[in-house]
Structure 1
Amino acid sequence: MSAFLSLLLAYLFLGLAIIGIFIPGLPTVPFLLLTAWFAARGTEKLHQWLYAHPSLGKLLIDWEQQKAISKRSKLLAVFMLIVSWWIMHFNVENKWVSILTALFFILIAAFLCSRPDPE
């Protein structure tokens, strides 16, 4: 993969991660992890900035070193999954979509909650 494409994808996923902070249902951490992965291949400057960032850096370092997610991040993520599902449930005509989404969100929440807390 070319450095330019990696750089482009890193910035795309960074944008999605930032948007995910404010929009329920759009995940932040997976996009942030993808940003770090592509930045490592596309631009050392962005990669260093991510790891040095006061908020984002700790999330990345905890995940990279321990595969851990902070209790606060888990609670916030599960809360946002519940809010997202609740909003969608009352705005979607097809109840199967609501049921399948609930099952998917439960799997995501279970995965998040199964990760250890950082040391």
Structure 2
Amino acid sequence: MEPIINIRRLFLNVVGGLSLILGVIGIVLPLLPTTPFVLLASACFMRSSPRFHQWMHSHKTFGPIISNWEQHRAVSRKVKRRGAVLIVLSFTFSIIVVPHFWLKVGLLIGLVVLITWFVRLPIHESVDHGQENH
């Protein structure tokens, strides 16, 4: 059973690492969301690497996002506003760019589903408002 545990740990570390990289890229690239990738990385590292999980929790940018989600299953107003705008912008751009009508319809359906879920997420403001998701 030991090799299966090692393969699972390796898989979770790879997914966590890739998610963290995408989350970091999302800080500077407006069309890539930071919060979902950071939360996914945290969940992966929680099961595979306690050291990285602890590092993420103590990070000045990622820590408040993760703590807010784990404690309250909520995001800050700033994260929610930025996320909603970027979701709409990225889907709008994709709908304009894709050549096929059926792809446009699929993207529009995806947009409606995603934005409906996202705007329904609860809002919880951290005590330290200035630290979350710069």
| Fold match (TM-score > 0.5) | yes
| Equivalent residues of 1:69, 1:112 under 8 A apart | no
State the TM-score, normalizing by the size of structure 1.
Answer: 0.85
Q: With structure 2 as the length reference, what TM-score do the two structures score?
A: 0.77
Cross-structure match for 2:55:
49
CA distance in 1, matches of 2:36, 2:25: 13
Q: Structure 1: which amino acid aligns with 2:111?
A: F
Runs of 4+ with deviation above 6 angstroms: none
Higher RCO by CA contacts (8 Å cutoff, separation 6 or greater) = 2
Give the corresponding residue for 1:63: 69
Amino acid in structure 1 at the alignment position of 2:43: W
Write the mapping of 1:1-119 to structure 2, written as runs, cut at 5 A. 1-2=5-6, 3-21=9-27, 22-24=29-31, 26-119=32-125
SS at 1:90's partner residue?
helix
For the pair shown, which has the larger CA radius of gyration, 1 or 2?
A: 2
Describe the superposition over 1:38-96 as per-residue Cα deviations: whole angstroms up to 9, x where unpaired: 11122222111111111211111111111101111111111111211222122111122
State the alpha-carbon separation in 2 of the partners of residues 81 and 5 from structure 1.
Answer: 28
Query: Identity, % of aligned pairs?
Result: 25
Change (3 A) 1:89 1:73: same
> RMSD of the alignment, in Å?
1.8
